[in-house]
Amino acid sequence: AAGRYVPQKGFDLLIDAWSLVEKKHPDWKLNIFGDGDRKLLENIIIKNNLQNCYLNHSTNDIASEFINSSIYVLSSRFEGFGLVITEAMACGVPPIAFDCPCGPKDIINNFKDGILVKSEDINELADKICFLIENENIRKEMGIKARKSSERFKIEHITMQWESLVDNLVKNKTINKD
């Protein structure tokens, strides 16, 4: 996971979910990258006696971290367009995200190139993380589809959409004037 250490990002929820995952899969690790107030998150890690949950500082090379990851989790309580989701997907990492208002549901095709879970439902989040851990073939196939799906957000595709929109607006304005 990656983002600022602020309540919006829901890392407290992710860490609580991870406490359920770690019991079933103690050989897996959760790395959270970001900066901000770490105290609350550190306390949750200690309270849950987690051995494989790490709060890392932000990095200028998040792509390398994604490439070395198997799953990306977005635990936000609310989000705009989750650019970090598309960055993970571009690296072939399937995302799991809370279906919070805006963002994730506009990016993730549920159970095709990632997974959406009910907002703030730590049990479902833990369950879906375990599902991808336990189903390597599905996880890898989802990662392949995630990489392909992320291409729709490349600048050249977005530029073509904007050009088409502007052309249509200009054309319609010209037609309406006459």
What tens digit of pLDDT does each residue of 129-170 get? 999 999 999 999 999 999 999 988 777 766 776 777 777 878
CA–CA dist 34, 41 (Å, integer): 12
The pLDDT tens digits of the residues spanning 116-138 come to 999 999 999 999 999 999 999 99
Spatial neighbors of 50 by CB under 8 A, at least 6 apart, are 15, 18, 19, 22
Q: What is the Cα–Cα distance from 31 to 56, expressed in whole angstroms? A: 7
- Here the tokens at position 82 are 């989750």
Task: Average the pLDDT over 40-56 and give the result.
Answer: 97
pTM over 0.85: yes
